[in-house]
Structure 1
């Protein structure tokens, strides 16, 4: 198992490095320069060139990349070329917001998705068909559209939750919960549908396995057959889907954060790309890539623990 995870770790580090290098060149291939965007159309070319020289934009790409990576390895993500603030502490605070929302949305998807999927597999019939139809509708609705509907119904019409804005937990737990409830629900609804379908299929397949049939014939209590033996056998695909769900929610947070006015990584990425703030762009890529590869490593470890045959594949 250790050798398997070590190989995955090396591959993950290569992935992070590739993402950083690719994003670096994409930023520099974008038309315009930081000097043009910061100084505006009224600035002369000399002023623009002077600012670009000051921030190192006109240095060779290799020199810029080498300098940046040397600092990043030491934990220094540099400073924003827009306002000079330190990028590391800013992204750390934003990561807590985005990570918390993604984790809660994934947790909600796991709890309700597994419950719904198991009910469909065990009950079957009309219940299965109705829930599958509802799942199809949930899958076809993008989180942004769900968020708009939730804002209209629960914020505008009933005032149960704030439409936009974020409250820190330090400023009040109730206010924090209220500010993240709608984003979490908007992100969790499609996830619940995906997890439910996966759990349903996996549970049906597990119930049909010979050893499960044998346990039933031996008079093993139905609850033990289902919750101890069947669900463990069916858990590998569900765990894999949950891992992908977290990654999808985490990396795709920019739209939801924009809709609900959340100061997370998505908002930071949008601002950095708009103003050619390449240190900030690189910082967002590094943080997001590290989170994704760490989640994948944890997912790999869980899958190996649940099904040791994976390490031999």
Structure 2
């Protein structure tokens, strides 16, 4: 098992290196001029050239990449072109907002998808059709569109929740939670759809197996049959859907943050893209890629714990 985990960790590290390398060269294709963006359209060409030279962007792309990669290896993500602040500080300022949104959204997705999957698999009939309708709606409605609808209905029209902005948890837990309700709903719906369909299908397959019929014939209660046996065997597909949904939700949360004017990583990504701030963009790539790799590793660990046969692969 230790060898398997080591192989997964090495693969994850290689994937992280490949993604960040590709992203670095792709961001250089935008044609933005950092010096011009910093100094403005009225600056002279000489001043722009001097600024670009001080930033090091007039060197060859390979030299720039080697310098950036060396800094990342030392734990230095560079400095923002626009604010001249360390990229790590820029990320740490916006990260708590995005982590609040993602943490609450994943909790909602896990609880709701599992509960709805159990309801559909055990209730059948109308309950199953209702669950499939919810899943269809989640796949059909984009997160940003749902965010706009929720914002218009529950914040602008009915004034139940705050319209825009973000209040840190440390300042007011109540206002923090109130401001997170609509963004979490907008992010969670698509994740719930994929996870509950996978969980429902896996649970139906497990409940129809021969060994489950044998357990029923021995007089084991329906509750024990479900919670002690069926859910454990149906969990791997559900966990896989959860991990894929978490990755998709990460991208969707960026757009939702922009809709609700939340100062998270999504807002930072949009502003940095418009300004051509490559160090911040690359810091975001490193951070999000690392988060995706971590989610996959945690999913692998959970799969190994739930499925002993996987430990021998």
TM-score tier (shorter): over 0.9
Q: Aligned partners of 1:71, 1:165: CA distance in 2, in Å?
A: 34
Which residue number in structure 2 is paired with residue 16 of structure 1? 16
Which residue number in structure 2 is paired with residue 239 of structure 1? 239
Q: Is the 8 A contact 2:101 2:180 kept in 1?
A: yes
1:305 counterpart = 2:278: no
Which residue number in structure 1 is paired with residue 91 of structure 2? 91
Q: Is the 8 A contact 1:251 1:288 kept in 2?
A: no
Aligned residue runs from structure 1 range 142-291, under 5 A: 142-291=142-291
Q: Aligned partners of 1:73, 1:92: CA distance in 2, in Å?
A: 19
After TM superposition, the structure 1 stretch with the greater mean CA deviation from structure 2, 4-13 or 88-97, is: 88-97
Q: Aligned partners of 2:120, 2:252: CA distance in 1, in Å?
A: 29
Q: Is the 8 A contact 2:187 2:252 kept in 1?
A: no
Cα drift, residue 97 of structure 1: 1.7
Cα drift, residue 189 of structure 1: 1.5
Unaligned 5+ runs, structure 2: none
Cα drift, residue 44 of structure 1: 2.5
- Aligned partner of residue 168 in structure 1, secondary structure: coil
Aligned residue pairs: how many?
A: 313
* Runs (4+) off by over 3 Å: none
Q: Is the 8 A contact 1:99 1:250 kept in 2?
A: no
Cα drift, residue 75 of structure 1: 1.6
1:119 counterpart = 2:115: no
Q: Is the 8 A contact 2:24 2:65 kept in 1?
A: yes
Cα drift, residue 196 of structure 1: 1.7
Q: Aligned partners of 1:97, 1:2: CA distance in 2, in Å?
A: 35
Q: Is the 8 A contact 2:113 2:195 kept in 1?
A: yes
Q: Aligned partners of 1:265, 1:62: CA distance in 2, in Å?
A: 28
Unaligned 5+ runs, structure 1: none
Q: Aligned partners of 2:157, 2:206: CA distance in 1, in Å?
A: 45
Q: Is the 8 A contact 1:27 1:273 kept in 2?
A: no
Q: Is the 8 A contact 2:38 2:81 kept in 1?
A: no
Q: Aligned partners of 1:249, 1:95: CA distance in 2, in Å?
A: 15
Per-residue deviation, residues 256-289 of structure 1 (Å, max 9, x unmatched):
1110111111211222222221111111111111
Q: Aligned partners of 2:287, 2:280: CA distance in 1, in Å?
A: 11
State the TM-score, normalizing by the size of structure 1.
Answer: 0.96
Which residue number in structure 1 is paired with residue 103 of structure 2? 103
